[in-house]
């Protein structure tokens, strides 16, 4: 018996003492994912892991960054860099884009979506939600606020600017580093782990968020179409 089976068996035994039936199964799956950032299910069919260069896509990101800054107006007071999370892409592709409008450049990294947006853990965001307790990702524009020390270390608070993400502060939707957002999880399990609705990045890359999206900048999340 390997270490994974032993650990899963231990979780099952502990959960069985208190939770019957289907509730036991749900609690077991969640306990496993919280412990290891991945579900105990078998790896699904392979998802794409490389995005081909696409000038039209890059131009669309620049267009959206300018549009969303204009829409946000004076609420956003740093207009040099905009973060755009494209949840049309699976979690296996770099889909969090730092769009530098002054330099005309884009840097892209992996980011997790919420488990409530992808209950089957397919690797694709299935739906957005602003409902408290949904553990889903919300679409729309966010203002980046102050850094703070939280469960995952230094994190960035977010204030939702749209009706679709107006509960971001109350739901504690933030940017934070997480082991389950590391790229090696894709190699091992076929996709990233899921968050509780937050924008989770690999600890190796999270400084990019701290450097490029410090307080007063804009983050925008949606499915991007070219």
pLDDT band at 15 (very low <50, low <70, confident <90, very high): very low
Q: What is the C-alpha to C-alpha distance for residues 202 and 190, in angstroms, rounded to an integer?
A: 16
pLDDT per residue as tens digits for the range 58-110: 999 999 999 999 999 999 999 999 999 999 999 999 999 999 999 999 999 99
How confident is the model at residue 31, as a pLDDT? 56
**Phi, then psi, of 20 in degrees rounded to 5:** -90, 165
Q: Give alpha helix (H) positions in 105-192.
A: 184-189
In this prediction, residues 23-27 reach a mean pLDDT of 51
Q: Give CA–CA dist 106/89, Å, rounded.
A: 16
Q: pTM of the full predicted structure?
A: 0.81
Of 189, 179, 185, nearest in space to 44 by CA: 189
3-class SS at 23? helix
- Sign of the C-alpha dihedral computed for residues 204, 56, 81 and 165 taken in this order: negative
């Amino acid at each position: 018996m390997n270490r994974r089976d032993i650990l899963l068996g231990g979780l099952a035994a502990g959960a069985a003492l208190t939770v019957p039936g289907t509730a036991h199964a749900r609690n077991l799956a969640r306990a496993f994912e919280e412990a290891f950032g991945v579900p105990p299910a078998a790896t699904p069919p392979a998802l794409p892991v490389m995005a081909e260069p696409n000038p039209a896509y890059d131009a669309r990101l620049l267009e959206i960054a300018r549009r969303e800054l204009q829409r946000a107006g004076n609420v956003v007071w740093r207009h040099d860099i905009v973060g755009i999370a494209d949840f049309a892409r699976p979690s296996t592709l770099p889909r969090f884009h730092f769009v530098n409008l002054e330099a005309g450049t884009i840097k892209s990294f992996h980011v997790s979506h919420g488990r409530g947006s992808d209950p089957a853990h397919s690797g694709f965001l299935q739906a957005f939600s602003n409902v408290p307790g949904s553990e889903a990702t919300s679409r729309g524009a966010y203002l980046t606020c102050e850094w703070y020390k939280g469960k995952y270390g230094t994190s960035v608070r977010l204030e939702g600017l749209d009706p679709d993400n107006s509960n971001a502060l109350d739901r504690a939707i933030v940017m934070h580093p997480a082991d389950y957002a590391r790229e090696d999880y894709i190699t091992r399990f076929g996709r990233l782990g899921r968050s509780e609705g937050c924008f989770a990045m690999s600890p190796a890359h999270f400084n990019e968020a701290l450097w490029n999206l410090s307080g007063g900048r804009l983050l925008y999340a949606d499915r991007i179409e070219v």
